[in-house]
Amino acid sequence: MASVTISNVQKNYGAMNVLSAVDLSIADGEFVVLVGPSGCGKSTLLRMIAGLEEISAGEIKIGDRVVNDVAPKDRDIAMVFQSYALYPHMDVASNMGFSLMLRKTAKELVLNRVGSAAKRLGLDVYLQRLPRQLSGGQRQRVAMGRAIVRDPKVFLFDEPLSNLDAKLRVHMRTEIKALHQQLKTTSVYVTHDQVEAMTMADRIVVMHDGVIQQVGTPLELYDHPANLFVAGFIGSPGMNFLPAVVARQGNKVSAELTDGQMIPLRPELKVEDGDRVTVGIRPENIEVGTSAALKAKIEVIEPLGLSTQFYTRLAGQQVCIFAMGRTDRGPGDTIALGIKPADVHVFHGKTGLRLS
Amino acid sequence: MVMQSTAAGLPQNSGGKGAKRSFSVAFEPWLYLSPGLVLLLLVLVVPLIFGVSYSFRKFSAFKSEYVGLAQYQALLHDQVLGQALMNTLWWTVASLVLQFFLGLGLALLLDRDFAGKKFVQAIVFLPWAVPSFLSGLTWAWLFNPIVGPLPHWLFALGLKAEPTNILSDPATAMWGPIIANVWFGVPFFAITLLAALKSIPGELHEAAAIDGANPWQRFTKVTLPFLAPTIAITVMLRTIWIATFADLIYVMTEGGPAGSTNTVATYIYVSAFKTLDKGYASAVAVLLLALLILYAIVLIRIRRSLVRYS
Ligand SMILES: Nc1ncnc2c1ncn2[C@@H]1O[C@H](COP(=O)(O)OP(=O)(O)OP(=O)(O)O)[C@@H](O)[C@H]1O
Ligand SMILES: [Mg+2]
């Protein structure tokens, strides 16, 4: 096991800059999830850790060793690919034992390691099958097994679950997590699915356009998003955003929406009268039917049984509200919204950075 | 649709009527296929039957007569044919091995990126576009010490004592057509193997690299198993083409000197058109056909046992 330290790493393809100045320290035994929209450079960063992609500038360390010029096979890492990349002409046992065989490990030891990994993954009855004779979920397990038998210092996963159906994905998610809790191997996991990120990660790294936006535990990111991008990316349904102007009257601070309605803000917030800001409110932080002053019109109601989602219009913006239980209101009704000042996220109107 | 409606209607019919019905059901698909089948029969099978039937006859200038197996008996005692069979084996194996390995090398080279790749690719595939007669003539001239440079180069390199034509020496003559054939046939292997190489997912090589395979192990454990089906089929096709390919040899040496480059294919040609005994030529052709079919069966068996996954 080992830590992974990424310092000031860049990646260019010709003149195109794909990753700029990435800094990230991953502690020994940590499960870190890289998340971000398609094309933001997650895979590129992961492949640079694996040694499959050259490092244009900066330094990557695994443990205490700088690995910039170390071949993939000498980095002591294992990678699970999105396509699984199983060798189609080898049976499950050979697929899993391939790396050990190449290292000239004694036959018995290989059988032992493959056997116990297969048992752990529920693959012991499939050892003699070829990959094409397995289901997608089973193939995924073989790819996991191939990584486990190596007993590497670091596991790298590139969207390993994205080819599975929704149910299996949820199941494998918990299995991978359980596996990590047993093995405690440092893991870097790439996904574009924020739910996967929230449920699996010790820490999440949110990336956008080749730049790390924020690093933190799932709840840190949820409660204190560093900027508009993170705020919008983490959470489902997503955070509501409303452009506003700060109105400060002595000790009372509020945000004036475009239609003149006011949302109260925390008085200690470092904003001045007249500042342009974007306020962000999570759907579950809006209370329906209180006597508060904010009024919005219902456009769509989605009853989910346990809860209800309202899509309303407030100051020209669509605002989603998540409320537990059921409702007797219908589309077209005007409802009163209650929002606590502590639940309002305020972002700089131009830079999108969080104001505190 | 037809199958569905008849199948649905079937249980209601009983007895003789049902049997009649099922005959027409079985017959119907053949009816639809019949134009294609008739065409295949006319184009493929009929000429073959004629060709085989010629081998039971003897032809002379103006007539032919049925002679039973006499032509085949003559085969057994034909010394020239014996030598031609050995020459065919040598010609086929040498051409095939050189074509294959050079083609594989070129395909591996063209599978990676380098400056001027497009240009090299165009050059490599060029010989394929040259008519075989033209390449035969060109190579014959290249080997000719009066007009071609090759004998002088071989002499300068010390490979030959004198700058003579290798085509006129029975000991070396076969190398001429073989070299021309290799030049002519390499593009075939390069193209097909390159296509197969391109179909290997890149992640497989990356997974192998992470698993600890060095380049040679990646080639033998990942690339080769992937290429195996293509290799089996191309080697089989190519063997058959080379074994029956007479143009180059005929243009360059006409089977000589002293029968040293006479293969079964050129021998068939000579028997049919020079001695005008089409019956004997047909018998030789049937022999070659039988040998090649045998070879193909053996190779397909080997391929099946090797390639479990495709
Ligand atoms: N070989 C290459 N040459 C040029 N540009 C590339 C190359 N590989 C990737 N890129 C670019 O680098 C950027 C990051 O790609 P990357 O594969 O890391 O994205 P990603 O975050 O993994 O996206 P996804 O979620 O779709 O897999 C993309 O804009 C892509 O176009
Ligand atoms: Mg990716």
What is the atom index within ligand 1 of the atom nearest the CA of A190?
A: 22
* CB < 8 Å to A73, chain B: 209-214
What is the atom index within ligand 1 of the atom nearest the CA of A210?
A: 14
Fold of A4-233: Rossmann fold (3.40.50)
CA-proximal residue: ligand 1, atom 14 (nearest): A41
Asked if residue B230 and residue B185 are part of one domain, the reply reads: yes
Asked if residue B276 and residue B199 are part of one domain, the reply reads: yes
A70: helix, strand or coil:
coil
Q: Percent of chain B at pLDDT above 90?
A: 21
Find the CATH number of the domain harbouring B169.
1.10.3720.10
Asked if residue B178 and residue B144 are part of one domain, the reply reads: yes
Asked if residue B203 and residue B54 are part of one domain, the reply reads: no
Ligand 1 contacts (CB < 6 A) are A 13, 16, 18, 36, 38-44, 192
Distance CA A216, CA A108 (A): 43
A251: its two tokens? 């000790």
Ligand 1: distance of its center to the CA of A60 in Å?
19
DSSP secondary structure letter of residue B43:
I
Mean pLDDT throughout B108-117? 86
Which superfamily, per CATH, for A240-348? Answer: Nucleic acid-binding proteins (2.40.50.140)
The complex scores an ipTM of: 0.83
Asked if residue B63 and residue B35 are part of one domain, the reply reads: yes
B210: helix, strand or coil:
helix
The residues facing A156 across adjacent strands are: A79, A188
Sheet holding A307-314, edge to edge: A286-288, A334-339, A294-303, A307-314, A317-324
- As annotated, the residues of chain A forming the CATH 2.40.50.140 domain(s) are 240-348
Asked if residue B254 and residue B211 are part of one domain, the reply reads: yes
B15 within some domain: no
B8 within some domain: no
Mean pLDDT throughout A223-230? 95
B91 within some domain: yes
pLDDT of residue B6: 42
B16 within some domain: no
Asked if residue B77 and residue B58 are part of one domain, the reply reads: no
Greatest mean pLDDT range, A186-190, B14-18, B60-64, B234-238: A186-190
Q: How far is CA A302 from the centre of its chain?
A: 26
- As annotated, the residues of chain A forming the CATH 3.40.50.300 domain(s) are 4-233
B254 within some domain: yes
* CB < 8 Å to A94, chain B: none
Asked if residue B238 and residue B179 are part of one domain, the reply reads: yes
Answer whether residue A136 shows pLDDT above 50: yes
Query: pLDDT digits over A255-275, tens only?
Result: 999 988 999 999 888 888 889
Asked if residue B292 and residue B242 are part of one domain, the reply reads: yes
B207 within some domain: yes
Is A132 within 8 Å of B225 when comparing Cβ atoms? no
Nearest to B148 by CA among B137, B157, B158, B160: B137
Asked if residue B50 and residue B191 are part of one domain, the reply reads: no
Asked if residue B165 and residue B189 are part of one domain, the reply reads: yes
Is A72 within 8 Å of B203 when comparing Cβ atoms? no
Mean pLDDT estimate for chain A: 91
Query: pLDDT digits over A86-99, tens only?
Result: 999 899 999 999 99
B3 within some domain: no
Asked if residue B62 and residue B126 are part of one domain, the reply reads: no
Number of domains in chain B: 2
Using 50, 70 and 90 to split pLDDT, how confident is the model at A311? very high
- Count the alpha carbons within 13 Å of A82 in the hemisphere toward its beta carbon: 13
B240 within some domain: yes
Query: pLDDT digits over A151-167, tens only?
Result: 899 999 999 998 888 88
Q: Percent of chain A at pLDDT above 70?
A: 99
Residue range of the domain that includes B32: 25-69
Answer whether residue B155 shows pLDDT above 90: no
